[in-house]
Amino acid sequence: MAPRVQLEKAAWRWVESVRPEDIHREHIEIAYRICVPSCKRGACRRNCKGNPNCLVGIGEHAWLGEINENSFHNIDDPNSERRDKNTFVGLTNLGATCYVNTFLQVWFHNLELRRTLYLCQNCPSSQSNWWEVLQEAWDYEPRSICEHLQYLFALLQNSNRRYIDPSGLVKALGLDTGQQQDAQEFSKLFLSLLEDTLSKQKNPNLQNVIQLQFCGQMSYVTVCNQCGRASPLPSRYYELELNIQGHKNLTECVTEFLKEEKLDGDNRYFCESCQSKQNATRRIKLHSLPRVLNLQLMRFVFDRQTGHKKKLNTFISFPEQLDMGPFLEGKGIKCVYELSAVLIHRGVSAYSGHYIAHVRDARTSDWYKFNDEEIEKMEGKKLQLGIEEDIAETVKSQTRKPKCSKGYHCSRNAYMLVYNPLSVPGFLQRLVDRDNRKFEEWCLEMADMRKQSVDKGKAKHEEVKELYELLPAEDGQQYEFVPLEWLKKWLDDSTVTKEIDNGNFLCSHGKLHPDKVGEAKRISVKAAELLFDRYGGGPRLDGSTLCEECVGQRCRVLRLKNQLAEDFKEVTNLVKGPPKSDEGYWVGKTSLRSWRQLALEQLDEDEEETKHIDGKSNGEGPNQDEDEEEMKTFNEDILCRHGGLSILESERRLVTEEVWSKLRVYFPRAPQFTQLQEPCQQCLRLEREGKENEALNRMMASEQKSSLLNLFQEKNRPTLTKWPQETDILYIVPLFFVDEWRKFIRRPTKTTPVSSVGNSLLLCPHGGFMFTHDSMLMGDAQHIALLWPGEWEVISRHFLVDQPISICRISQATPNGSSVEYTTQPELCRDCREGFIFQQQRDMREYAQATVYVRKVIDDKRVSTAPEVNVSGSEAEDEREEPVAKVDGEQDPDFSQIMHAFSVAPFDQNLSIDGRCLTDDSATLGSLGVIPESVICLKADEPIADYAALDDVYQVCMPEEGFKGTGLLGH
């Protein structure tokens, strides 16, 4: 099938030889592409949107072949989440909780710990009244951390699910599921919390379970080198934290943990016998070992260079059977442990990665790998760490994995080793049974939904097979149109089929728009009847709804576009001759110069009106009032604002009636003015009035200028610094009034005359004056202008004055001579003045961004070390000898700017201003008295040599909160 653009051109090719008044039915059907051949199945890769008769590639292929029941639903088999027989249950990862899941699996496989938790009396079974026990058991829900752990272990033991959700316990612990915590720290805190919970049990056999399971005894023994006195410090431990750096096997790690440490120098020991500090030795002695020995391999260490934790990917060898007897104080004791769990951290960073656990089943001795929901059983009852646990995935290490002897394992990711030497209570089993019932109900519900989807798909399959064969409209037979998108949704089983909506296909005449036929499909009347009966909708569009008016309008526009070039040449020749008397028409010169372009734009606009855009019918386009200047049409350039003929004869010319008739074809709505048309009378009257007003303004400006010549020329002006001797009173007006008045004097015909003096701008809400004589000397005078008494009299005659303002000098004789005071009328409003000053000071201390200078000094000599970064164009202070380096104000002002400029680290910076040390690191600049343009002095703890003693200031654009929390204040 031809491309869509070719189909569009073919639909309107006939307009070249057919006038709008000669259009017949056959032309309309060509425009609507009624006779375009339909496509056969297999001939089109995709549906031909430009062909209303193409009914292939709309989704029918999914229904016309063999039935595949799986395509009728997207519901997975619920039994895929059912726990297989003789398998363990996994734990869902809630985001970043894999470290929690690993420990939960290890603790669950500790049968003694599990049995102990089941016996805890924090549940309905602890009630004395059997009826209360029975009643509460039906409504029992875990609340405490211990209860949640009990329920979780019961689910891990007897659930029908392949994996369970630990969110109840995680929420009770208050853990952030999106942030990975330190696994070793979590282990310590959780065991401590569990120990505290069990210590409150009434049963004495349960109170010390954590100690019996995980707690051992050791002591820190310090021996004085002088007197030989030994000072033991007993202590308990729940795991041994072993340093792995520089070691190859577990024995070396334990040996270093117990090695002797020398205490000398500043680290000397205070001996109570000697009553002085003495050199000594200290070592750890193991007195007893717990039943479950937890060995923490310290893979996550603090890096002093970066200030962050890092992971040590050191290979460590460890045995399946560990004899801890040689490390105990009592020699000859045999204490052999068997490896029961290995916790693994995948990844190279201490802040990311993934945790998994290898755990040995105590009943069968089989090894399992627990990876959240996934559980893998190892073959041959052997621990198999696998390549993914032993090699850091994202780093190609130069260190090869060492060979391990029989009975030993080697890993570079193991961070905890666990060595070791029951029925569920009824109330917990009832909770498990309830969860299992929910799971079975969910399985039945999913299976029923799958069946309903399959049944619905089979029914749709039969419907499509029945209707699709009826869709094509035969030549010469009646037909209707339906939307292509609706047909696609009808054939898409994932979409709920709605009623048929043809409303977006209508033109302004209520018929099928020609431009929409490419998005519709022509189908047989029989198929349309069945579809509308089953799904409803409308309006129905048949062969009688092909719009003859739209086709005729499009034909006229296309023909005029083809004729435009020929008419342009003819009009160009005709306008060269003058029109005959009384037969001409006025045309704007601008319009005449660009009429071809305007005609083309008008034709494009007319063609757009015949097109269907965004579901709007003809005449419902954009609001033309929104941008009238861009919508100018031909001959509007000679229209005045009243809609009449413009009075500017230089902007128009006469053309002959023949020229005008050709132009009217392209611009039928253009304004028309004959040669005898009179110009707009309103414009003529306004022109006369405008000239009179300009004359009045010139005369007014001349009179005001002559009477206030010194004010206009800024000559002989009074000042407060040198009060004129010839007068004791001066008048005050806003400087804004004087500036506007001078503009009018300079351009009286272009500027509006000034009619009033707005002195209320200088007064407070109570009518008092806002400035004092001293404040005006200090800078407030930039808002006012001073007038001589004679000038004030002239201004009072020519302008409206809302409130006179004056300042008076009063001389008084005193015993010590004469004194001068200054008063204002109206008098100063002290309350408002104090508020104004307070706000000025507040603005100086509370600012969003300002320039602050930092000067480096050494031994009271200023030293230049600041690089020139983004040098500012502003001038430096007079005392500076070097250009000022200015940091772009958009950069974040933190301690790194000062550190970069002066090579002084934050902890070596001593900052001061006006002799005051800035030591409060949490304070703001304003609270420390650092206002804009202040100079902060920087003195480093260690002087930097090899610099000339030059005066330099480092200029920093920083926000008022610049010091807060950034360490800018050093120490």
Residue 566 confidence (pLDDT) above 90: no
- What's the pLDDT score for residue 237? 92
What pLDDT, on the 0 to 100 scale, is given for residue 542? Answer: 92
Q: Are residues 614 and 736 in the same domain?
A: no
In a domain, 508, yes or no: no
399: in domain: no
Domain count within the chain: 3
Residues 783 and 668 occupy one common structural domain: no
Token representation of residue 74:
């997207």
Q: Are residues 235 and 364 in the same domain?
A: yes
Domain boundary, last residue among 822, 843, 864:
843
Q: Same domain for 738 and 603?
A: no
Specify whether 808 is located in the same domain as 659: no
CA distance 278 to 269: 5
Q: One-letter amino acid identity for 628?
A: E
**Strand ranges (E), 914-952:** 916-917, 935-940
Residue 893 to residue 620: CA distance in whole angstroms: 55
Q: Does some domain include residue 795?
A: yes
pLDDT at site 247: 92
Query: Which residues make beta-bridge pairs with 303?
Result: 308
pLDDT digit string, tens, across residues 519-531 = 899 999 998 998 8
Place 961 in a pLDDT band, splitting at 50, 70 and 90.
Answer: very low
User: What span, in angstroms and rounded, lies between the C-alpha atoms of 218 and 202?
Assistant: 29
Strands of the sheet containing 817-825, edge to edge, are 784-787, 729-734, 806-814, 817-825
> 657-666 and 595-609 are packed helices; what angle lies between their axes, rounded to 10 degrees?
30
Q: What is the DSSP letter of 504?
A: G
What positions carry a catalytic annotation? 98, 354
Alpha carbon distances (Å) from 603 to 556, 562, 566, 622, 760: 9, 11, 15, 17, 59
Q: Write out pLDDT tens, residues 117-140.
A: 888 876 444 444 444 544 454 567
Summarize pLDDT for 233-273 with one digit per residue, the tens. 999 999 999 999 989 999 999 999 999 999 999 899 999 99
Does residue 583 sit in the same domain as residue 621?
A: yes
- Write the CATH number for 788: 3.30.2230.10
pLDDT at 942: 59
If you average pLDDT over residues 536-545, what whole number do you get? Answer: 91
Please state, rounded to an integer, the average pLDDT across all residues of the chain: 79
Lookup: tokens for 129: 């009244």
pLDDT score of 59 more than 90: no
Residue 489 lies in a domain: no
735 shares a domain with 637: no
Joined together, the tokens standing for residue 954 give 């480092």
Residue 969 maps to a domain: no
Answer with the one of 776, 810, 843 that is the final residue of a domain: 843
pLDDT at 202 over 60: yes
**Res 70: pLDDT:** 58
Distance between CA atoms of 781 and 720, rounded to whole angstroms? 9
Can you read off the two tokens belonging to residue 397? 């290490």
- At 897, the pLDDT band (50, 70, 90 cuts) reads low
Residues 586 and 713 in one domain: no
Note whether 720 and 636 are same-domain residues.
no
Tell me, what amino acid is at 408? Y
Residue 961 resides in a domain: no
* Residues 425 and 433: beta-carbon distance below 8 Å: no
The domain containing residue 708 runs over which residues? 687-843
Each residue of 914-958: pLDDT tens digit?
Answer: 778 887 776 777 777 777 777 888 888 754 444 333 344 444 444
d(CA 37, CA 913): 90
Q: Of 647, 679, 711, which residue constitutes the final position of a domain?
A: 679
pLDDT in tens, 635-648: 888 888 888 888 88
Full DSSP string of 480-530 = EEEEHHHHHHHH-TTS----EE-GGGB-TTSSB-GGGGGGEEEEEHHHHHH
Q: What is residue 123's predicted lDDT score, i.e. its pLDDT?
A: 47
What letters, b where the CB count within 10 A reaches 16 and e where it falls short, cover 787-814? bbeebbebbeebbebeeebbbebeeeee
Inter-CA distances, 793 with 69, 275, 575, 799, 803, Å? 102, 99, 65, 10, 14
Closest CA to 368 of 388, 349, 398, 340: 340
Residues 213 and 359 occupy one common structural domain: yes
Q: Are residues 704 and 614 in the same domain?
A: no
Q: Quickly state the pLDDT bin for 352 (edges 50, 70, 90).
A: confident
- Return the CATH number at 359: 3.90.70.10
Q: Report pLDDT for 218.
A: 94
- The predicted pLDDT at position 293 comes to 93
**Mean pLDDT of the region 492-496:** 63
Q: Is residue 80 part of a domain?
A: no
d(CA 569, CA 28): 33
Percent of the chain with pLDDT over 90: 20
What's the start-to-end Cα distance of the chain, in Å? 81
| Alpha helix stretches (DSSP H) within 372-425 | 387-390
Pair (675, 722) in one structural domain: no
> What is the dihedral angle through the alpha carbons of 188, 194, 199, 200, rounded to the nearest 10 degrees?
140
**What's the number of CA atoms in the CB half-sphere (13 Å) around residue 318?**
32
Per-residue tokens: 116: 């102990």
Residue 192 counted as domain residue: no
Residue 341's pLDDT band (cuts 50, 70, 90): very high
